Structure 1
Amino acid sequence: MSSKKKGAPLPASSAGLLRFFEDETKGFKVDPKIVVSIPIGLIAISWAMEILLVP
């Protein structure tokens, strides 16, 4: 069954994005929550520093 699934053509949707997300790549995987929370945290810290440390 797996050979039949691999040999079947993929549907033409969004210029091959479907196949892009199906492919597994090597590398370090990061949780999306971390990717979003780090920049938000840095922005909040910089705003707090600007407000609290302005003479």
Structure 2
Amino acid sequence: MSSSSKKKSAPLPASSAGLLRFFEDETKGYRLDPRIVVSIPIGLIVVSWLLDLLLVVK
């Protein structure tokens, strides 16, 4: 098979072995559920919108 008939493909992505090793380590500190981390900013945004609507109406 000649080199001109081969398809050129993108290089393979880097291995994720380093990431897996990183997440295996236990660290000290608080452990929060991701739902809490997402819901707090969303809740603050909703409260901010509600306050803005209530203050504009009055």
Provide the TM-score with structure 1 as the length reference. 0.67
Note the aligned Cα RMSD (angstroms). 1.8
Which consecutive residues of structure 1, in runs of 5 or more, have no partner in the other structure? Answer: 1-11
Q: Looking at both structures, which has the greater relative contact order when contacts are Cα pairs under 8 Å and sequence separation is at least 6?
A: 1
Give the paired residue count: 44
CA deviation digits over 1:13-32, x for unaligned, max 9?
23711111111111111111
The match for 2:32 is: 30
When you count helix as a share of all residues, which structure comes out higher?
Answer: 1
How many percent identity over aligned positions? 75
Provide the TM-score with structure 2 as the length reference. 0.64
Which consecutive residues of structure 2, in runs of 5 or more, have no partner in the other structure? Answer: 1-13
Which entry has the higher C-alpha Rg, 1 or 2?
2
